[in-house]
Structure 1
Amino acid sequence: MEKRQKRISGMMLIATFLISGTIFLQMALYVIAMTTGCASLKFHNLVEVCHVTLKAIGLSSFEYLLDTLVVFTLLFALWKLGSEMVRYFTLKIKFRLYQNSALTKELNKKCGAKKESIIVISYPVPLAITMGFLSPKVIISTGLMNLLNDDELDAVIYHEMHHQKNLDPLKIFLLSFCASSFFYIPILKWFSSQYRIIQELLADNLAIEKQATPLNIGSALLKMLKVGKADATPLVYVSFADTSINYRIEYMLNPLKDFKLKIPVDIAFKSVMIFSLICIVFIYVLA
């Protein structure tokens, strides 16, 4: 089942990047062609080909709509990227200021971690996240260490180490960024949410395998839920107790139950229709 979940999550990643990458590329080429008047770019632009085709049958009245769509999408994507990067570096600076060097060294030694891959911060709120894109770090707060016993804390660290090894902060950020930028294509949001669920289940499964019991990861999750959730999770990190709680508890109670993934027909249909409509609008603008 684990291999199947990994395969499904990989397919969702590829599908998201193909859909988003294609649209971003076409929009970028369109903007360049419109601003520079470069005929070669327009000639090689797939959207331009569609536009010429529809223009030939008399559909050329929505050029302003396409301009609005392109400008809004690109500006919104830049704003989203910029705001998340600001949040990322702000959090990074705060964590560096709050870092407890003694506990960090002690915990890394205990877990056999290399190059301080686990960072302990002096913070009263229970917190366990994995943050960073190319070299992610596991962030553990003293509040969490005070809340959990040793076995529960080990389970949480195993869970976060899965995210760390799998580069989930980077992957989840890219998925969420694409879903936010193209919010009018609902299948991307669905891919993003389902990917998060699968990765949380896989991370929990690693903790269960390491300790040969689901009790510690389950009790750690319940304790953190009782304390309460923190502020809304940014896209730039993966948090232990913020995602797919119901699925995770159900899986812990019944680990033999398979995670069924069925693409909702209505969402898929809407996405195809919206994508087709966008192509038509592109055609209009390139009249």
Structure 2
Amino acid sequence: MSSNGDTHQPTREFPEYPKGRAAAPEAPSPWSDDSAEAVEPGERGPTGEPPAAGPTSPAAGPTSPAGRNRGLLWFAGIAGVVLLLFLGVQATGLLPSWRNPFAEEKTDRSQPALLKSIQDLSRYVAAEGNFQVVIDLERDRKYVPDFLLRERTLFVGAGSVEAYVDFAQISEGAVVASDDGRTVEIRLPAPQLGKTNLDLENSYVFAEERGLLNRLGEVFGGDPNRQREVYQLAEERIAAAARDTGLAERAQENTRKMLEGLLRSLGYETVTVTYTAG
């Protein structure tokens, strides 16, 4: 307070500082959290004005990107652990398995097999040939464009043919042995070729081309035996190949070797095998 009573002079009060120290206090660091004093709501500063907003504390401000990333990583890790635990419990059978409501269902309404006949066989299968044939079958109409009416199928067929000797056809007197038991002569029927066994597991349609009218006809009622002609043609080609490859001659040689070994083990020294004309 001024002693001369001049009311126009401002009143100033200066704090006292101990000797040996700087008159001005050290400025607080702008990076320190203690740079601003906490002020209660509604409290005013020394000059009567509301306190200025100080630097926002990282804990009180919005979440930083690093914090959000850590939170997402924690959430993903916990979700993964829960999923693994659930799958492990499901594998043990404690929980019912998940089922897709739109999964494909297979219903077998086939009838049991019916036995029609039994045939006794006395065949000696002496050789077997395995074949593969490629069938390229095309069906079209004259003066009609191929994109309208045409069927072309490229089929790869695999099958086998057996060559056998039917011992049931051996007549009386076909086996002639000498009195001393050293020589024997056998007359056998000629080897035959069996039917072609088409291997459906290794046979397949490689490519197929069909015209527009053919596809429309399939929509309104197709032919369930459409591939039957291709299968029959493949069987015929395999049977013809079996006849041309000398499969019957191979069966004759194998049958002769088998009988020679069998009869010589019985004490015969000379074994002669002949075949009648087929």
TM class by smaller structure = under 0.3
Structure number having the greater helix percentage: 1
Q: Report the TM-score, using the length of structure 1 for normalisation.
A: 0.19
Q: Report the TM-score, using the length of structure 2 for normalisation.
A: 0.19
Larger radius of gyration: 2
Structure number having the greater strand percentage: 2
